[in-house]
Amino acid sequence: MTDQAVTFINVIEISADQVDEFIEQWRERVALMSAAPGFRDVRLHRALLPDARFQLVNIAHWDSVEACEAAGANPTVLASVSQAERTASASPGLYQVVAECP
């Protein structure tokens, strides 16, 4: 990754019984986001236990903060996120790597 590359991390609180429906909507958003300039990759992680506070963790990599923000400003993406907020509480943020271990 370049010095400007960023990692988007979003921890999502949602009841375990609503996760499957959320994942379907997530796939639709990803189809839009992955076509945006600066997109690198994305993975959605699911909790192994149904009582975990964060049932989902979304991790995506972007070329820059600007690329991620531009993709997120897409009106179709915004509408999809608004719909997802009816059943889930998300805590998104952008991060850069400051240390790593092989």
> What torsion do the CA atoms of 68, 69, 75, 80 make, to the nearest 10 degrees?
60
Can you say how many angstroms the Cα of residue 20 is from the centroid of all Cα atoms in its chain? 16
Q: What is the mean pLDDT of the chain?
A: 94
pLDDT digits (tens, 9 = 90+) for 73-87: 999 999 999 999 999
**What is the model's pLDDT at position 16?**
94
pTM for the complete prediction? 0.90
Distance from CA of residue 83 to its chain's centroid? 15
pLDDT tens digit string along 15-47?
A: 999 999 999 999 999 999 999 999 999 999 999
φ/ψ (deg, to 5) at 14: -160, 150
Q: How many CB atoms lie within 10 A of CB 73?
A: 10
Encode pLDDT of 54-69 as tens digits: 999 999 999 999 999 9
Rounded mean pLDDT, 96-101: 92
